[in-house]
C-alpha cells in the first residue's frame, strides 16, 4: 500500500474519532484550540518520523515518547473540560 493511501486511510478513520473526542470540549474554545495544536504536533512528529525513517529509524524513541505525552495531554484537556462542565 502506498504512503499516500495509508495517509488517506488514516485521516478517514481518525476524523470521526477526532469529532467524537472533541465533544467534551464543546463550549471551551481555548481548550479546543489547544487540542488542535496537539493534533498538529502529533501530525508533524509523524511526518518527521516518516521522513527520517531511512536515516534515524525511530529517532531514538523520542518521537514516540513525544506522541505518548501528547496523547496524555489530550486526555487532560478533556478532563479539564469535563471538570468545568460539572462544576460550572
Distance from C-alpha of 76 to C-alpha of 70, rounded to nearest angstrom: 10
Residue pair 3/50 in contact by the 8 Å Cβ criterion: yes
Domain that holds residue 42: 3-87
Q: How much is the pLDDT for 51?
A: 86
Cβ-based neighbours of 34, under 8 Å, separated by 6 or more: 77
**Model pTM?**
0.68
Residue 46, CA distances (Å) to 7, 59, 67 in order: 11, 11, 8
Binned at pLDDT 50, 70 and 90, residue 12 comes out as: low
Total domains, the chain: 1
Element (H, E) at 76: helix 62-87
* Closest by CA position to 63, among listed 76, 74, 50: 50
pLDDT tens by residue, 22-58: 578 889 999 999 999 999 999 999 998 888 776 766 6
Amino acid at each position: 500500500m502506498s504512503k499516500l493511501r495509508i495517509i488517506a486511510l488514516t485521516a478517514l478513520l481518525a476524523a470521526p474519532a477526532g469529532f467524537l473526542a472533541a465533544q467534551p470540549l464543546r463550549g471551551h474554545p481555548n481548550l479546543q484550540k489547544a487540542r488542535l495544536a496537539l493534533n498538529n504536533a502529533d501530525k508533524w512528529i509523524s511526518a518527521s518520523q516518516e521522513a527520517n525513517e531511512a536515516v534515524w529509524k525511530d529517532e531514538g524513541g523520542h518521537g514516540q515518547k513525544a506522541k505518548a505525552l501528547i496523547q496524555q495531554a489530550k486526555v487532560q484537556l478533556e478532563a479539564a473540560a469535563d471538570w468545568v462542565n460539572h462544576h460550572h
